Amino acid sequence: MGTSEQISRFIAKQADVNHGKPQRLGDTLVELMENQIAPRRARFGPVAEAWEQLLPAELRRHCRIADIQGGRLKVVAESPSYQFEMRLCSSQLVKELTMRCPRAKVERIEIVVG
């Protein structure tokens, strides 16, 4: 389930909880941050930090983390050549990320061009 889908479900759930009564947007956003975004950031923030430290600058400029879910780190590369370079270093990255960020449970890296 993607982030936008999670947010939509959260907002729909809030409407049910409040029985369709209006709720301040600020209150909804605070609750969303506390219940959805903050725990995810706590779990995956270290992955992003390690990514910055481990990846060569050239690859960092042309590849970005798109998602982390179910042991899979999804990476978007700007072109097939960067996708190829990412594949060359992906097994080492998985080892390092597993060591540095055990809570993220990264088992594999999926690299797509986008």
| Domain chopping of the chain, boundaries | 3-113
Output the CA–CA distances (angstroms, integers) from residue 59 to 19, 47, 88, 96, 97, in the order listed: 49, 16, 12, 16, 16
Decide: 29 and 65 in contact? Cβ < 8 Å: no
Q: 0.75 exceeded by the pTM?
A: no
Distance CA 59, CA 94 (A): 16
Angle at 74 between CA 69 and CA 75, to 5 degrees: 155
92 closest CA partner among 61, 45, 50: 50
* CATH of 3-113 among 3.40.190.10, 3.30.300.180, 3.40.50.970, 3.20.20.70: 3.30.300.180
pLDDT digits (tens, 9 = 90+) for 17-34: 555 666 676 776 667 666
Residue with the two structure tokens 């939509």: 8
pLDDT digits (tens, 9 = 90+) for 63-87: 998 888 889 999 999 999 999 999 9
